Structure 1
Amino acid sequence: MKTKSHGILTLFMAFLLQISFAQEKTISGTIKSGPDPLPGVSITIKGTSSGVETDFNGKYSIKAKIGDVLVFRFLGYTTTERKVGKSNVINLSLTEDANVLEEVVVVGYGSKKRVSSIVGSAAAVTTETIVNRPTANVMDALQGQVAGFQVYTSSGEPSATPSFRLHGNGSLGAGSTPLIIMDGVPIRSGTLVSLNPRDFESVTILKDASATSIYGSRAANGVVVITTKKGSKNGNTIDISTQYGVSNIANTDFYENFMNSKELTDFWLATGYRSQEQVDALLADGHDTEWYKYYYKENAPTIQADLAFSGGSEKSTYYVSLGLFNQEGLAYRSDYDKYTFRANIDSKINDWSRFGTNLSFSYDETQTNNYGSNSTNRGLALLAQPFYSPYDENGDNIEGVIPGWGRYNPRYLADNFPSVTNKVQVNPTAFIEVEPIENLILKTQAGIEFYDSRNSSKRLPSYIGSLANGYSSENFSRIINTTVTNTLQYSYSLKDIHNFSLIAGQETIKNDYEYFYAYSAGQNDDRLTLLSSGPNNRNVNHSESQYIFSSYFTNLEYNYDKKYYGDISFRRDGSSRFGKDNKYANFWAAGVMWDIKKEDFMQDITWLNELKFRTSYGTSGNSNIGNYESLASVGTGVYEGNTGWFLTTPGNSGLTWEEQKKLTSGLTFGLFEKATLSVEYYNRRTTSMLIDVPQPYTTGWSSITSNVGELENAGVDITLNFDIIKNSDLHISPYVTFNYNKEKIIELFQDRDYWIIPNTGVSWIKGQPRTFFRAIFAGINSETGAPEWYVPGDDITKTTKDPNNVTSVFNAADLQQSTGQSRYAPVNGGFGLNAGYKGFNLQVDFSFSSGKYLFNNDAYFFENPTVFGGFNQSKDVLDYWQQPGDVTTYPSTDYQFTQFDSRLIENASFLRMKNISFGYQVPTDFLPKNGFLKSLNLYITGRNLLTFTKYTGPDPEVDSNISLGANPNTKQITFGVDIKL
């Protein structure tokens, strides 16, 4: 009987299951926006994670049961629900949601605002712009993307951190790098290399006082706000991305301009440096080596792989990612390996509270080539004579010393001088947020930036240059930066006309830094290279430091009928870096915006769809100096076996904040629904600059940090975006960004009109920007073949070029004067194009810099055959004076060809194709029908493929006053695949 009842129950369950399956059916349809189909619309079954997306024709197909509710979601459109009935077809036309469609950016302390409601100046770059770039640092991808935001990559090292600044350099002495905020917590610029750009949702640049002043003491140089990705309530997805690429030298013009064997020996014969017999002996082996191809690798590989899980429900969202980045540099012992992990979780506890955590973890290993500068082991390796060869008769690399050239094989050096830096970087943050009454939000957030960095460097005892005499060094540094922020936000609207928003808060930042170093020498076995194995020259060093900031801030915003906007900010900052009576300072800003297009008198102007006016004025501070500059300090040393004390810094108890005042005014135009033009003027004036003021050596100090001087940066930002064509099949969207910045020194110190920074060739002159200061080359006397230089006038801060007052006697000190060439480029920007047709997409980005000058110290070695005789030289030296009447670049061989003069200051302006990417989104019709594979994107990306410049050195992008032995920038070709499951 029991068996029989079980059988009946089984049949009954099977019958119910059959009915259930019978109710499931395929629902299909087309989703449109007006007459155009919408690709990428998310369709999910409400209450489940099951879902699909529309294809490029707006079509979809999903299995559902009668009674299920389908949810249709697409960014910028109103979410719509439809219940499944008897029909198998559900077509929809989604409507735009004005509250969602408009771009949203993150501004002060995580508050999100629509672009149209921001009083201050802010520019956002989304993840689509940065994710596919084959570089470890996100800043490289921002070059040329934001007007006024200058980015330079000065080295081809894979682990290099680009330099970046906003609206010029705001100080002559203190730092000029913008403040970087990631998910509400400040981070160092060097941390960016350790992060995974694919985890970023957006990067927002806050540019004017209205936008930055709430950050007060750290915002004098602008603010970069990074927002990392969060999960979505629209369902769960798995994203898989992988890239493989190769790197080469970005621009080989410099390297290919050296003489080959015949050219070099012919030059020696012509100048009498070598006899025919000597030349024949040198050429006997028939070698003609291009040394740059030996010292720099070709097609160095880059591998990147990322896996991300994201999703959520009505209560919680999550985003978890894993990343791997391995890039081999072009120079030997130049590599970067990075492994990243991120977990972002946001959960709503109940109707009035939520909490979230963001955890970022990375581990990286870095090797850098240190043979730049004056080293013939790479930076000056092109001095090598081409008739020597680094290969033996079998074509194999010669280990050890290269015959003739007398330098070591670079691979051999890399193997025998291992040096690896490994770093653990952890950035955890957590917050809790409560809303005790409607529109009042109380939030507490705590974050830590933590890293341990360790470098191990050795010379192996088997190194033939110092057999059985190795060395070992270890250095370790740790930074713990803790930030605790408490904020109150309140918003209130009266009849939807008067709209108020208030934020107030308190913040404490504490930084702890520790460093130690140890060294020993005399290791005699490659198996015994620890510090303890070295009996000689043992040395140890240990240091630590701390600083703390304590701040209070508030911001009030008001708009009338979303037409007239105003805001005001106030912040009080305290820093441990200043004297006890000067630790605190107050900073403020105010701004207004007028949405002119909403006025009644503008409604009939149909070609103008947007017109806004913004202006703001405010102050901010800078404390970017050492931690103890205000204090007279002592150090310790060892004397006759005992610890002794000695004075190390004089201190300055009156030291206080560097202050900046900034005015910004701008207009934004929307034209014909096809273009947006933004023009902004700014004036940025810095006073009480933190400068190391020189002192007479009789005082016992070379300089004392003081608040002196005044500096002005003024300029204009222009941004122009087009949507020439934009529909479901075709889009063409070009853009242009442009910045002109004029720097002027208003006041210096000690009543000086100018100051030449020692050993730099750069001067500070009142009324001028930072300027190169050198002897000015006048040319070659065509009758005598002698080099000539202009004799300076009585005022060496003025450029004097009197053709009747020249000299052939070079004296660097007596002939120096202002060259009139600025240290920093006044013009920077970019332009590009985003275009697509159906599943194909093309993105092209160029960046440019004009008026950039760079002291090409390499040319002193490579264009100086009378000083560096016997070494290879640039082909340019073949243009030398030989007889009266010759008009040449270089003098007679009776003179030194090149001096440290203005001829080495070269125009390093450049135009560079920063990125070109071509991709194809595979139509969903070609993907498996089971919904496992939601999307598949294939692409190829090129970085730095084209460079246009007049600069004759290795790379024009070096951001310094001088370039010598630079590790050149690289160009990459990368193939990638993005998969969404």
Structure 2
Amino acid sequence: MRWRICSCKAYDKTERASPGLTARRKCILNMDRHLYLLLTIFRPKPIFMRKRLYLLLAFLWMGVCMLSAQTKNVSGRILSAENDEPIAGATVLVKGTSIGVVSDAHGHFTLKVPESATELIVSFIGMETQEVGIKANLTIRLKPANEKLDEVMVVAYGTAKKSSFTGAAEVIKNEQLEKMNVVSVTKALEGTAPGLQVMGGTGQPGSGATVRIRGIGSLSSSSAPLYVLNGVVFDGDISSINPDDIESISVLKDAASAALYGARGANGVIMIQTKKGNAEKSTLSVKAVWGFSSRAIPEYSRIGIKDYYETSWEAYRNALVGTGQSMEKASEYAAANLINRQLGGYNNYNIPADKLIGADGKVDASARLLYHDNWGDALFRTGLKQDYMLSMSGGSDKTTYYLSLGWLDEEGIMTRTDYQRFTARANINSQFTDWFNLEGNMGYTNDKSNQMMQAKGTYAINPFFYSRMIAPIFPIYKRDEQGNYILDSEGNKVFDYGEKRPFNGRTNNLATLIHDAVWNQTDNFNINVTAGTKFLRNFTFKVSGSADILNRRYTKMYNNKFGDAANVGGRGSVEALRIESLTFNQILNFNKELGLHNVSAMVGHESYRYVEKSVFAQRTGFPLEMSNDLVFGAQLEDGSSQTDEHAIEGWFGQVGYDYANRYYISGSYRRDGSSRFYKDSRWGDFWSVGASWRISQEAFMKNAKWMDNLKLKVSYGVQGNDNILDENKDPYYYAWQNFFEPYPNHDFGGVIHSTTGNRDLHWEKNTNFNVGLEFSFLNRIRGEVDYFIRKGEDMLYAVPVPYSTGLPSIVQNAASMDNKGIELQLSFDILKERAFKWTLDLNLTHYKNKLTKLTQEEVWDGTKKWVEGGSIYDFWLMKWAGVDAENGDELWWYKNGDAWEKTNDYSLASKDPKSKQYVGSAIPKVYGGFTNNFSWKGLNLSVFFSYSVGGKMYDSNYQLLMHAGSLGHAWHKDILKRWRNPGDVTDVPRIEKGNRYIAKSSNRFLKDASYLSLRNINLSYTLPAEWSSRVGMSSVKVFVSGDNLVTFTKLKGMDPTQAFSGVSDNTYVPNRVVSVGLNINF
């Protein structure tokens, strides 16, 4: 039989049998000429070889034609089901094959698919994967996935899915952090997660906040959580981490999640994970933010100049009456001598000082005010802020990278305070082979700041105390009798240092800020390198080494013209600090799936070493102002150096098991040894067990279609705390050793025995129990409720010892304490199916603190008293009994035997400690936060509030402003409601210069600390992809943001977020920041 390639008749029967081959026939006919040429070239001689060759080439060519004939083009567009915005980068795969494409910036795709293909699989991160039938001009709308179930959390020494995790943890994503333009990430945490309590700290540029997790962790040790950066304990300055580099933050709250950190995990763990590269996408990002800041907490309301003179006259007159003078004579004497004898001769009016105030205590109605200097306006300013960020990420299937550079320049609201920060980060991950990878994370920060000499307390050089408490009659610059400025020989205003001023004489805070200086410069470098290998299919082994290195130079320069250092010709000091911490660990992991069974195990070892070295020197006699080096000082006044070292060695392991993605159990164990304890009690054992049950996966829940997820979890375990603090709240590394301090004796050296060591000291232990329920239903409502019990045992605190020892106390394991509470988190997708989307997230926490064991009957700590059954933040104060309407005396309750009586004798009332009563606690009843997110097309609005309900705050600032008559000090406006005449009914007692028993400590100054704070508003607009792609950009977002905008409290001026202890101080007030920004991705 002869085969004719070109013959149409040869295909007649086949064609009739299979009409679908018509295209093949035409293809062969069209290609006949090319085959003929090929056959002519080869010219096979034997006929059988020629036949075989003909057949082979024919079938090959038919195969090519069949492929061409059996493919078709499919095109379409992928949109978000929520707002119809295009989705760029979505993956489109032909089901059952590896054929696929990725959607472009406008969501469009075109794909050649086999003729037999019927379905496509469309997927995108954060969206539900869909299978769709193939047809012309597809429009595919992807719905958001239930991310909480599949959310991968960074946990101790690894990662875990939210759905399988047995512990209590929260994840704060980059999307939440980037809305708040904060310098330190700790200031972005308030109200973001249940169980997380944040106090704002100070408004000093570059400063961070104080964080606690699930209550109070210790009496005398630190209650601060452990910070972990990219899997390694971080000892650097938390403010050195650029928030824009952060991918996510995991807050580990119970034993099941944090026990693997053993010695350091008792107070919870905050795990910070920085961004990584994406092999599928290369991105260049530019972010620029410009803003301005002002004080977020308004100043206390104070009386003006006229009221001040009249109030001062009354206080002076009442003091004179107290010496036995008649009311008439006292009134006249006070009027004639108040300004010149009591107020340093400062007269703001055009009438002579002895004539300004009449015997009735009123300022002459004809008097004209010559000047009124506002110290607040002079000391405070509107601070400017600039923040720039450049980052690159991408990679290949072998190596991914993330690189970034950041620059921040922030002015403080206090004159001459600022902060600059340069950051650089490089995160690189290389998969060299299928079984070996190497990962490196490197970060560097250089920051500089100008600070104040004092930013808290009642120091004359603290501008916040000074500007609040100085009377309004005192000028900033010297004035003549007509109120004109006095100028020096060069025509400059002359500062008034108040040589005769009764308030902080020989000081001027504006001059101090100009002529004195505090510089702080820090270099912070951290690096972590991890090598990992896979072997025997189910095993991985990782070796990691990391280093944190911090170098800080802290310089203080006091001027030689005025103030404390004027008599020594100026004073300068420099402290150089270097901190090195090294961590090495080796971790072996095992994972195995056996049908419906999943088993995992991990064992590891870790070594940690911490070294802190400091050198301090101080000199006097500086001929040049603002010298920034001690070499210019003539006399060495002080010098010292110190080295502290600390080490921890640990072995740990963890096992996990789950069945059918329904039942989960886990267990962990760690054994740590700490150099802070004597060798016989150095080692501690810490462990946890946890279990969870996904009820929604059970067969009996199949008909509950409305229930997306229902999970019950429980955990229990023991964690440790070795972070002992000294009386100054600084780390104490030598509690088991006797401690000696230098004590020079004229020209001879010497030491004194300052602390007695205790070799019996051992670990504080925190026993943690947690039970929780996670739920999600209607694909719209999600939530979690947790109940926890945290028991602290063998807690360290200083127990008093007999005076004969020559020491006040010795540290012992002598107390126990409980924290019990409940946490609730809810999320609502109120509107999600339309272009307009509205979500609401809220959380709340309630907990109680209780001392369950003390070796002493009671322990006093300022305004607090510790007793068994009470809290460490319970206020015990004299109970205020009001004002005597007949004489204006302040009254208190005191215990006379078994009876409670009123008295105006504070010394009698306070003599017996039993007269002090429990009047409230600084711990709030409930605290948390809530966020509303609105979006419409490319427009997004986020409104975030934090709140606290209940709890008390002792407002010592308000107490100072309600003084009895410390002339030269400002008064709060409430002083105008004072008692003046017999029969007056008021809650403000009379004023009387020199009376030590008015405005004494009592619950009169204990205020409700409840607040509602508008922490953040962020409005952003993302340009349509069609617009940005025209100029070569993948996305462009512009935004305006406001942080710390307003805080509503019961008393204007009070900052309820100042301290966990609930006692106010004259600290750097929080800042309100309003900013605009631009974020461009290429």
TM-score by length of structure 1 reads 0.89
Question: Displacement of 1:122 after TM fit?
Answer: 0.9
- 1:3 match: none
Change in CA separation of 1:283 and 1:873 when aligned onto 2, cut-off 3 Å: farther
Residue from 968, 980, 996 that aligns with 1:882 = 980
Is 1:332 aligned to residue 432 of structure 2? no
- 1:867 match: 965
SS in 2 for 1:964: coil
CA–CA distance in 1 between the matches of 2:573 and 2:960?
32
Kept in 2, the 8 Å contact 1:940–1:975? The answer is yes
Residue from 298, 303, 311 that aligns with 2:386 = 303
Is 1:292 aligned to residue 393 of structure 2? no
Kept in 2, the 8 Å contact 1:468–1:524? The answer is no
Change in CA separation of 1:100 and 1:344 when aligned onto 2, cut-off 3 Å: farther
CA–CA distance in 1 between the matches of 2:105 and 2:907?
74
- 1:400 match: 495
Q: How does 1:6-405 map to 2 (within 5 A)?
A: 29-32=76-79, 37=84, 39-42=86-89, 53-55=104-106, 59-60=107-108, 74-77=124-127, 102-109=150-157, 111-188=158-235, 191-252=237-298, 254-255=299-300, 257-268=301-312, 272=317, 274=335, 277-279=355-357, 284-297=368-381, 299-371=382-454, 372-377=456-461, 378=463, 379-390=465-476, 393=484, 398-401=493-496
CA–CA distance in 1 between the matches of 2:131 and 2:285?
26
Kept in 2, the 8 Å contact 1:283–1:387? The answer is no
Q: How does 1:830-841 map to 2 (within 5 A)?
A: 830-841=929-940
Per-residue Cα deviation, 1:208-247 (whole angstroms, up to 9, x for no partner): 1111111111111111111110001122111111111111
Residue from 813, 819, 834 that aligns with 1:713 = 819
CA–CA distance in 2 between the matches of 1:222 and 1:322?
31
Is 1:585 aligned to residue 663 of structure 2? no
Kept in 1, the 8 Å contact 2:1056–2:1062? The answer is no
CA–CA distance in 1 between the matches of 2:626 and 2:958?
43
Question: Displacement of 1:597 after TM fit?
Answer: 1.1
Q: How does 1:708-787 map to 2 (within 5 A)?
A: 708-727=814-833, 729-749=835-855, 752-757=856-861, 760-770=862-872, 771-787=874-890
Question: Displacement of 1:314 after TM fit?
Answer: 0.9
SS in 2 for 1:944: strand
CA–CA distance in 1 between the matches of 2:229 and 2:1016?
25
Kept in 1, the 8 Å contact 2:80–2:86? The answer is no
Per-residue Cα deviation, 1:355-381 (whole angstroms, up to 9, x for no partner): 110000000012222344213452132
- 1:16 match: none
SS in 2 for 1:963: coil
Is 1:466 aligned to residue 566 of structure 2? yes
Question: Displacement of 1:936 after TM fit?
Answer: 0.7
SS in 2 for 1:426: strand
- 1:686 match: 792
Change in CA separation of 1:604 and 1:528 when aligned onto 2, cut-off 3 Å: closer
Change in CA separation of 1:453 and 1:651 when aligned onto 2, cut-off 3 Å: same
Q: Find the structure with the greater CA-based Rg.
A: 2
Kept in 1, the 8 Å contact 2:885–2:985? The answer is yes
SS in 2 for 1:485: strand
Change in CA separation of 1:660 and 1:101 when aligned onto 2, cut-off 3 Å: closer
- 2:734 match: 628
CA–CA distance in 2 between the matches of 1:629 and 1:287?
58
SS in 2 for 1:927: helix
- 2:773 match: 667
CA–CA distance in 2 between the matches of 1:890 and 1:791?
20
SS in 1 for 2:1030: coil
Question: Displacement of 1:856 after TM fit?
Answer: 1.8
- 1:20 match: none
Question: Displacement of 1:251 after TM fit?
Answer: 2.2
Residue from 511, 524, 527 that aligns with 1:428 = 527
Which residue identity lines up with residue 878 of structure 1 in the other structure?
L
SS in 1 for 2:984: coil
Is 1:483 aligned to residue 609 of structure 2? no
SS in 1 for 2:1079: strand
- 1:5 match: none
Kept in 1, the 8 Å contact 2:517–2:557? The answer is yes
CA–CA distance in 2 between the matches of 1:274 and 1:588?
75
Q: Which has the higher strand share?
A: 1
Question: Displacement of 1:831 after TM fit?
Answer: 1.0
Question: Displacement of 1:81 after TM fit?
Answer: 13
CA–CA distance in 1 between the matches of 2:905 and 2:885?
13
SS in 2 for 1:581: helix
- 1:19 match: none
CA–CA distance in 2 between the matches of 1:324 and 1:527?
27
Per-residue Cα deviation, 1:943-970 (whole angstroms, up to 9, x for no partner): 1112111145442211144323121111
CA–CA distance in 2 between the matches of 1:334 and 1:614?
49
Q: How does 1:486-635 map to 2 (within 5 A)?
A: 486-495=586-595, 497-526=596-625, 530-625=629-724, 626-635=732-741
Change in CA separation of 1:638 and 1:81 when aligned onto 2, cut-off 3 Å: farther
Residue from 954, 957, 978 that aligns with 1:855 = 954
Residue from 809, 821, 832 that aligns with 1:703 = 809
Of the structure 1 ranges 302-311 and 868-877, higher mean CA displacement relative to structure 2 is found in 868-877
Instruction: Provide structure 1 residue ranges, at least 5 long, that are not aligned to the other structure.
Output: 1-25
- 1:12 match: none
Q: Which has the higher helix share?
A: 2
Per-residue Cα deviation, 1:580-637 (whole angstroms, up to 9, x for no partner): 1011111111111011111122222333322111111100000001111111234444
Change in CA separation of 1:296 and 1:493 when aligned onto 2, cut-off 3 Å: same
CA–CA distance in 2 between the matches of 1:587 and 1:974?
46
Kept in 1, the 8 Å contact 2:460–2:507? The answer is no
Kept in 2, the 8 Å contact 1:335–1:366? The answer is yes
- 2:15 match: none
**When the two structures are aligned, how many residues end up with a matched partner?**
927
Per-residue Cα deviation, 1:642-664 (whole angstroms, up to 9, x for no partner): 44344332111111111111110
Which residue identity lines up with residue 514 of structure 2 in the other structure?
D
CA–CA distance in 1 between the matches of 2:766 and 2:712?
23
Which residue identity lines up with residue 867 of structure 2 in the other structure?
I
Residue from 456, 459, 471 that aligns with 2:555 = 456
Of the structure 1 ranges 768-777 and 271-280, higher mean CA displacement relative to structure 2 is found in 271-280
Which residue identity lines up with residue 769 of structure 1 in the other structure?
S
Which residue identity lines up with residue 835 of structure 2 in the other structure?
D
SS in 2 for 1:957: coil
CA–CA distance in 1 between the matches of 2:974 and 2:962?
7
Question: Displacement of 1:531 after TM fit?
Answer: 2.2
Kept in 1, the 8 Å contact 2:198–2:211? The answer is yes
Kept in 2, the 8 Å contact 1:439–1:492? The answer is yes
Of the structure 1 ranges 87-96 and 892-901, higher mean CA displacement relative to structure 2 is found in 87-96
TM-score by length of structure 2 reads 0.81
CA–CA distance in 1 between the matches of 2:736 and 2:1034?
60
SS in 2 for 1:676: strand
CA–CA distance in 2 between the matches of 1:793 and 1:347?
78
Instruction: Provide structure 2 residue ranges, at least 5 long, that are not aligned to the other structure.
Output: 1-72, 115-119, 318-333, 337-353, 358-362, 725-731
CA–CA distance in 1 between the matches of 2:229 and 2:393?
20
- 1:412 match: 511
Per-residue Cα deviation, 1:509-567 (whole angstroms, up to 9, x for no partner): 00011011001101223386632332324321000011110001111111111111111
Question: Displacement of 1:680 after TM fit?
Answer: 0.7
CA–CA distance in 1 between the matches of 2:172 and 2:547?
25
Is 1:907 aligned to residue 1008 of structure 2? yes
Question: Displacement of 1:395 after TM fit?
Answer: 12
